[in-house]
Structure 1
């Protein structure tokens, strides 16, 4: 039961209204909105909310060891499900620790609500411990941040926060004084809003079809938001006669086996694709804001399809912008192109590019050495992965090697796309397993990234999350080291002093393996699939510079 006036009597009043405490109303509202879990760290300013959580069963609390992990888990859940992610923290330092994860949600447009405690009402604005103006602290990352000072204001503020987060896919934040949670309120929860996408008129579709038919060198650029339309996109590519390029991190949206799929564009992608893409005369951009300088054409006509109006033209130079769901927009385009005759010369170039890249990556993937070549590790992971697995990528060299060498089927990727924070992988993997317990979840991280969140290895044990973590361990921040060399600088601060990751994981209750060759890696990956516990593979990686780093 929620924390109401009297849990032993009916919650209905003669006016058919429920009586809630502020904490109880917050939880009831989040339940109505479909929130299933809240991530956070307990502090005295949120005791009232924690008490209310303990007295109900609809929403579970996931306690982590650091608030940054809580916010990263909320962000990962929002990215994976499209639903509101929620995290809570103590006032002051607790909120400050959330900032890294909130930054990830903000830049990657993930709907996240952060709730922080605040000083008691009669101490706001004084020299009270840990007190700061928390709205100023989160201002750069949260378009809506409000201090609630009256029990009856909680639902209006919560409604605005949720509206901001969900409709604009961003971060919202509420500061709630610690003595407000237990106060009674006359406010009532609101129902979940029904939000529909705008429909595209036939006139706009005819304009798009005219551009598509005129193309001699067409390309489709696909982003992570297009997963639901993947079958339609593949059909469109075949009929239109175009190549398919992926935005950063969109691996798995289109299977690698698709004959028109040319891998990623730009960083972490297919370097042979760049010249082709620059020669495109019409580009259909679907659910992505990826338009990297130096990889894109200067004179192409660009058609952008996006679910959210704010995304149209924000980063992509658009000739025609369409707001709507690709699942609804692409089928009429396919119908309108059914008599289209593709440019055969362009199709030949697409196949040549795909074949040349396949040969190049196959050479990389089949290296046999100790320490292991990064590409060979990706190949082994690929061979031991379910088609519908979720892959959580950390930031760093390991991510680039994965995006370059992994041949996807229909796996789903989670990564810190624009914020690019180290330490994202483990929290994202744990969140993914909570959201999709039936799926295989693999985290690929570096020794630097894991070192930032290592305390939360114990969180995976606490909540019985059998994930697999593969650590690319070469004792250095490889990407920073290589980039400094490229710029003619002497690397400093890039060497790492690592613990024995396997021993640390075992001490936390994990199964762990130290891996030095491909045979050991393959066997450890196979064993991880049947383990009832989380599994960590500490893989010795050769210090091999990523091939496509150039002086920027």
Structure 2
């Protein structure tokens, strides 16, 4: 039986495992949305397409399954761009149906005409146009297969008039999901074992590419008596049940993780593509294992680059390794990590009930949230507080914007995650800047009855940028935000909302917020004079911050200098 291109696209997406389409209806996709209405797909009507792309990416990142976005020609499809970049860089399998004007008008400067391929081929694993109705099922199946197997966004471009066309192709094009065992050759495994045998201070550095291999990493760590440091994105599966875990490196990391990486003589980078060269060891030999060959050696020169799945590679390697006793390298790292954790707890103590420090707020959230809660955090300081003060237990999940570094990702991603996990607690840690950037889709949470819990770290500023300016020795400029009472605003649109300004009122409000049956927002006024302290403070940073202090005093802002010193250096 012949079908329209619209029906074929919807059928193929359903067969590939998609359950939802995020978007805003409109002229060039009306026939497609009608096909969605008649299919097993649910349409999630967002108020801004960027939110739709972030929500789809959040859903797919957590489930590993396909989600879909669809946009009208020109502005409709273009509004997806930032969310598509974010989702693609997270490795989320999303398909974007990007429509265009009618074929008869292409190339003539018709209103809203956009060359979608030039735009989206830089943030996708697949980007093709359906040029003939008989291509529809084949191209959509290949797009879905690319998104699922190459872990990224796939884009299908469709002219508005093409959706109505009839296809006569009846071949059973389908999506394949291979599961190969990929590991280095025997000679390469032997070379790796020889390098390990010749090293004294070995550190394992695990990234998101080691997801699913936590048990093997633990076995390798115990065999080698090696500390395990990890990237930010590996937090949720490396922290739990990993006795030799010593935390993270990098500007968002902790001292023990940074020292374990910096002091080793052999660094085993397992599924890690950490971008910041200055945090790699200066003299150690480096081995990198990654499933993607093009990533080998692109961040730091490596002595041995191996293509393989991390778990399969370790399984092949372990029989060749002799067990080692705990030594100074591991013991020092473990002792340092215990001190780092103690420091985080001490920084979260609230000495002044008239203030709320963000660390205190996050530690309380960690204590009160469900054991299987899923957390998202906006880029900037909420992301730091999540990484440092929320505990991973093997059930909790975490998603932040670490590769794209966007604002306003937290609650849109939580929207999609809540759709996928309706019975789990989903909590978005929002900055006030991020919240106000895409605030309109709070209405989507109400309309879709999604019980997302939104926690606003309200410091009335673009706090992370303000910190960067001050550490550079500049007076902060253009970072102040004039915010509404977010709690009152939430109540006005139909969700539970509350505002807290003092530490004494926080716990009761947080209990009520988490217990709310539907979407709920808690607006918390947090201390503005809060620096995100790096694992190691350089003399240049102290000098630059002192320079800010001098400039602030000369400009009549001495009270801010006092607050900055009290809250960050004298606590």
Q: TM-score w.r.t. structure 1 length?
A: 0.91
Residue 300 of structure 1: how far off its partner (Å)? 2.2
C-alpha displacement of 1:454: 1.1
For 1:401, the equivalent position in structure 2 comes to 385
Aligned to 1:146: 128
Map of 2:267 onto structure 1? 283
Measured in 2, the distance between the counterparts of 1:447 and 1:199 equals 44
For residues 244-291 of structure 1, give each alpha carbon's deviation from its aligned partner in whole angstroms, at most 9, with x where no partner exists: 112133322223674421111112210343233111112222222114
Count of residue correspondences: 533
The secondary structure found in structure 2 opposite 1:480 is helix
Report Cα offsets for 1:392-442 as digits up to 9, x if no partner: 111111211222233322221111121111010001111111112232211
Larger CA deviation: 313-322 vs 246-255? 313-322
Range with greater deviation from structure 2 (34-43 or 184-193) = 184-193
Name which of 493, 512, 530 aligns with 2:515.
530
The 1-side partners of 2:372 and 2:225 are apart by: 28
Do structure 1's residue 110 and structure 2's residue 95 form an aligned pair? Answer: no
Aligned-residue offset at 1:118: 1.3
Q: Is the 8 A contact 1:249 1:403 kept in 2?
A: no
Deviations 1:371-404 (A, max 9, x none): 3111111110110123322111111112112222
Equivalent residue number for residue 110 of structure 2: 128
Question: 2: distance between equivalents of 1:169 and 1:234?
Answer: 26
Contact 1:146 1:157 in 2 (8 A): yes
Q: Which residue of 2 aligns with 1:236?
A: 220
| Alignment partners' CA distance in 2, 1:343 and 1:437 | 45
Find 1:158's aligned residue among 140, 149, 153. Answer: 140
Give per-residue Cα distances to partners, 1:284-318, cap 9 Å, x unaligned.
22222114222210232222233333433343543
Corresponding residue for residue 229 of structure 2: 245
Deviations along 1:34-90, one digit per CA (max 9) or x if unpaired, are 11111111111100100101112x211111000000111122223222233321111
Cross-structure match for 2:565: none
Structure 1 equivalent of residue 19 of structure 2: 36
- Cα distance change, pair 84–399 in 1 and its aligned pair in 2 (3 A): same
Partners in 2 of 1:227 and 1:515 — Cα distance? 38
Question: 2:344 is matched with which residue: 361, 371, 392?
Answer: 361
Aligned to 2:569: none
Shift of residue 154, structure 1, vs aligned partner: 1.9
Pair 1:213-2:197 in alignment: yes
Q: Distance in 2 between matches of 1:117 and 1:165?
A: 19
Partner of 2:63: 81
Cα separation, 1, equivalents of 2:373 and 2:34: 36
2:142–2:175 CA contact under 8 A, matched in 1: no
2:20 corresponds to 1:27:
no
Equivalent residue, structure 2, for 1:7: none
2: CA distance between counterparts of 1:208 and 1:86?
42
Matches of 2:325 and 2:374, distance apart in 1:
35
Tell me whether 500-509 or 182-191 shows the greater mean CA deviation. 182-191
User: For the residues of structure 1 that align with 2:533 and 2:193, how far apart are their CA atoms?
Assistant: 39
Aligned residue in 2 for 1:261 = 245
**1:251 aligned counterpart, secondary structure:** helix
Q: Which residue of 2 aligns with 1:482?
A: 467
- Distance in 1, matches of 2:232 and 2:191, equals 29
Q: Quick check: 2:148–2:177 contact (8 Å CA) kept in 1? A: no
Deviates further, 60-69 or 240-249: 240-249
Matched, 1:433 2:418: yes
**Which of 30-39 and 81-90 deviates more?**
81-90
Q: Deviations over 1:225-249 (max 9, x none)?
A: 4332223322322221111112133
8 Å contact kept, 1:303–1:320: yes
Superposed CA RMSD: 2.2
- Deviation >4 Å, runs of 4+: 549-552
SS of 2:429's equivalent in the other structure is: strand
> Which residue of 2 is the match for residue 505 of structure 1?
490
Superposed displacement of residue 357, structure 1:
1.0
Q: Which residue of 2 aligns with 1:185?
A: 167
> Does the 8 Å contact 1:121/1:149 carry over to 2?
no
Alignment of 1:332-343 (within 5 A): 332-337=316-321, 339-343=322-326
Q: Which of the numbers 517, 525, 529 marks the counterpart of 1:540? A: 525
Return 494-503 or 529-538, whichever deviates more: 529-538
